Amino acid sequence: MRAVAEQPNVMLRPTGDGDAQEVVLAFPYDGHLVAAVRTLPGRRFDWDRREWSAPADGWVAAKLSAILAARPELRRSAEFDAWLAATERRWVGHVRTARYDGRGWFALDTLAGEPPQALREGAVKLGGRWLVPLSPSHAAAIMELPDPHLSLGARRCIEAIECGERPPAARLILTRGVAGERLTLETFWDPDVQAAFQQLPGAAGGELKLDPWIADQLDAFLALHGVEVTPAAGEAVERMAAEARAAQRAVAASRATSAEPIAEVAARLGGELSPFQWVAVRYALQARRTFLADEQGLGKTVEALAALEAGGAFPAVVICPASMKLTWERETQHWLPHRTVAVLSGRAGGALPQADILILNYEIVAGRLAALVASGPRALVADESHYCKNPAAKRTRAVRWPEAGADRDAGDEPRR
């Protein structure tokens, strides 16, 4: 009889997937050694065989070299030693990107070995990091590395170089998802650009909502950092800027304190409006969907009625608290004496009366909704519209005329 030869603790074994191999480690339990083996990338434990295994690549080799140097008692197969010696001569590390001297570089952070000569040409060594130019030859040399671990920025730079482009510091793109359109910043080699982008109002996770109110800040950011903007993103930025300019004009108009009367409308009114009230009427005609926020007693009811008359937005519906229905009826008869008005009561009823202006309270809108929609209203005035502040409430859902088909020409009670 012959004694069975002792098996090595560390050896190579084919994985069965082409020429791929894996490193196998089998040893009596040792807590410290197990903890060290768990640091190997891609390692796993086979409970049936009672052994560890990991991919036979440069990253595992670099980690194993340190482990085996501290554990010389572990027996190694000759095949493994030959593989480890060959692997240790290769460079292993991370390929990232960095900004240095005002431009972008590939940044090589070494785990083991020295970078190939093709990568060191024209490179700058800063401490333990090699800075490699963003050139086609260096990009090709990186892709020839056996186990390149590329950061997202490095991959973007290589893809840009392979397409014949010069990698920008960062690129702004337009993305579309379930949450709608977003502006997304793709960082290539300047982390400061990413940090500055995250400081923009509403930015999160490298994304930004298309909010016109940050158009000026976004424009300043793009100019300051020289960010490349794709055509689709550029169109979105232009839309934001146009909306911002329109909003600024609207805000300026809403803050006006005096406006000329609309002669043909003034002639039909049952009284005379003040100059500040004509501002509200003109603004409502322009904005269409808006709020009136004048102080109490300044005549918001009159302004709303004049806006309806100026826009010819009849039939119109006025929704108000029950205690205000008679007030609206009285004011309508005074200011628009040539218009017919009807006040609705009760949650249910048949066909609506024929009238230019229908007045009803919030509590009965849901029961009358079908008839209201069938009447084809062209405008909606919501008095005390804070009654509809909860979007989930039945009252609010009933008053949401866009879904019901109304035009809302005069708005929700115009804004100043």
Q: pLDDT value at position 401? A: 61
Beta carbons of 287 and 314 less than 8 angstroms apart: no
Expressed in percent and rounded to 5, the helix, strand and coil fractions of the chain are 40, 20, 40
Q: pLDDT value at position 399? A: 84
Return per-residue pLDDT of the chain as tens, 416 residues: 444 457 899 999 998 888 888 999 999 999 999 999 999 988 999 999 999 999 988 888 888 888 998 999 999 999 988 888 887 778 888 999 999 999 999 999 988 888 999 999 999 999 889 999 999 999 999 999 887 889 999 999 999 999 999 999 999 999 998 888 999 999 999 999 999 999 999 998 889 999 999 999 999 999 999 899 999 999 999 999 999 998 888 888 888 878 888 889 889 999 998 988 888 888 888 888 888 888 888 888 999 999 999 989 899 999 999 999 999 999 999 999 999 999 998 877 677 889 999 999 998 888 888 888 888 899 999 998 888 888 888 888 888 864 544 444 434 443 33
The reported pTM is 0.63
Q: pLDDT value at position 412? A: 41
Q: pLDDT value at position 156? A: 96
- Joined together, the tokens standing for residue 223 give 């100019």
Q: pLDDT value at position 47? A: 92
- Name residues whose C-beta falls within 8 Å of residue 231's C-beta, 6 or more positions apart in sequence: none
Q: Which residues pair with 318 in a beta bridge?
A: 359, 381
Q: At what angle do helices 300-311 and 325-335 cross, to 10 degrees?
A: 50
Rounded Cα–Cα distance for residues 414 and 301 (Å): 10
Rounded Cα–Cα distance for residues 356 and 335 (Å): 13
Q: pLDDT value at position 406? A: 45
Q: pLDDT value at position 5? A: 52
